[in-house]
């Protein structure tokens, strides 16, 4: 069942809204799940982290998917897994090698945090990824959403979670005429409409429906109070950071003056960014030379 305008008379989405407003949450949830699953049966997306599920593969995919489009992650996921097939191999790897396999995904701090999370799993959890959300949030790079996603996708635990596509679906169905919708308003509806028996499949279905919604509607997610336009990448510090790490991964180390020349950046801007990368544990400065930490 393809997404349509929920205001259309007789459309099942409008029926969900009417039943919900009347307080018939059971009936509204049944209709809502029917719409989402009907679409999923016809349009489910296939990804390597969905097709072969292990806690490690889920962890890697969730780190990669943070602020990165799925198409790019698909290209990088299997090569990364081939290079580091488990927690131990990732924990033992050098940051240089991890960054080399991460190239093209951006936000390189995630690569360092992923390696540190693997180190923590090996050293503090006997090599087994915890399934308790509170424990997961104690690992490097794991916030509330990533912890919930690991619980849902790795161990099929019925937890409440909201990300951009899920948010889009709930705004479309339950807040059709509202702007600045908060996650706090969405969260109880996510909980009350959940398919608690099949949370992994349910969240996959919601995400896939949200993607289709964005393709057929003026993105409902823009009516979220949390919607932010991403700043331009071209010419940004983010682009320069990525260029620095790409060069250092290729050459292991380089003199600062040579690196400034290769980048075409002003020395003051270069030194500011290098200092930030050093504070984040991504590079080290040794006199006039910079290298991957």
Average pLDDT of the chain to the nearest whole number: 92
Q: Predicted confidence band at 230 (pLDDT cuts at 50, 70, 90)? A: low
CATH domain 48-155 topology: Endonuclease III; domain 1 (1.10.340)
Q: Predicted confidence band at 7 (pLDDT cuts at 50, 70, 90)? A: low
What does the alpha-carbon distance between residue 277 and residue 94 come to, in Å, rounded to a whole number?
17
Residue with the larger pLDDT of the pair 107 and 179:
107
Helix axis angle for 199-216 and 25-43, nearest 10°, is 80
Q: What was the pLDDT predicted at 218?
A: 72
What does the alpha-carbon distance between residue 11 and residue 32 come to, in Å, rounded to a whole number?
12
What does the alpha-carbon distance between residue 3 and residue 217 come to, in Å, rounded to a whole number?
8
Q: What was the pLDDT predicted at 133?
A: 96
Q: What was the pLDDT predicted at 176?
A: 86
Catalytic-role residue among 8, 25, 27, 62: 62
pTM of the model: 0.89
Average pLDDT over residues 69-77: 96
Where helices occur in 194-266 by DSSP H, the ranges are 199-216, 237-251, 256-263
Q: Give yes or no: 62 in active site.
A: yes
Dump pLDDT digits (tens) for 129-159.
999 999 999 999 999 999 999 999 999 999 9
Dump pLDDT digits (tens) for 232-265.
777 789 999 999 999 999 998 999 999 999 999 8
Q: What was the pLDDT predicted at 6?
A: 57
Average pLDDT over residues 51-70: 96
What does the alpha-carbon distance between residue 290 and residue 244 come to, in Å, rounded to a whole number?
10
What does the alpha-carbon distance between residue 222 and residue 15 come to, in Å, rounded to a whole number?
23
CATH domain 237-292 topology: Arc Repressor Mutant, subunit A (1.10.10)
Dump pLDDT digits (tens) for 177-222.
887 899 999 999 999 999 999 999 999 999 999 999 988 877 777 7
What does the alpha-carbon distance between residue 277 and residue 109 come to, in Å, rounded to a whole number?
9
Residue 40 has pLDDT above 80, yes or no: yes
Q: What was the pLDDT predicted at 162?
A: 96
Residue 1 has pLDDT above 70, yes or no: no
As given in the structure block, the two tokens for residue 91 are 């924990």
């Amino acid at each position: 069942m393809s997404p349509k305008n929920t205001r259309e008379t007789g459309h099942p989405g409008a029926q969900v809204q009417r039943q919900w407003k009347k307080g018939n949450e059971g009936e509204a949830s049944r209709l809502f799940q029917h719409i989402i699953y009907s679409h999923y049966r016809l349009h489910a997306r296939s990804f390597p982290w969905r097709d072969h599920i292990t806690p490690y593969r889920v962890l890697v995919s969730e780190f990669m998917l943070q602020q990165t489009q799925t198409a790019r992650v698909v290209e990088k996921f299997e090569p990364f897994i081939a290079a580091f097939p488990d927690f131990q191999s990732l924990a033992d790897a050098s940051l240089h090698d991890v960054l080399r396999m991460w190239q093209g995904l951006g936000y390189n701090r995630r690569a360092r945090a992923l390696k540190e999370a693997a180190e923590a799993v090996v050293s503090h959890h006997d090599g087994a990824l915890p399934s308790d959300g509170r424990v997961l949030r104690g690992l490097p790079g794991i916030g509330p959403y990533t912890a919930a996603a690991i619980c849902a996708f790795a161990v099929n635990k019925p937890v409440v979670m909201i990300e951009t596509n899920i948010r889009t679906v709930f705004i479309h169905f339950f807040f059709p005429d509202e702007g600045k919708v908060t996650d706090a308003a969405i969260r109880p509806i996510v909980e009350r409409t959940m398919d608690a028996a099949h949370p992994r499949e349910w969240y996959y279905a919601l995400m896939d429906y949200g993607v289709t919604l964005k393709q057929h509607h003026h993105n409902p997610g823009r009516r979220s109070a949390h919607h932010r336009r991403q700043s331009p990448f071209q010419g940004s510090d983010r682009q320069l950071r990525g260029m620095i790490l790409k060069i250092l991964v290729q050459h292991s180390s380089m003199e600062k003056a040579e690196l400034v020349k290769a980048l075409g950046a002003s020395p003051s801007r270069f030194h500011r960014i290098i200092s930030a990368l050093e504070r984040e544990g991504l590079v080290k400065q040794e006199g006039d030379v910079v290298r991957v930490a």
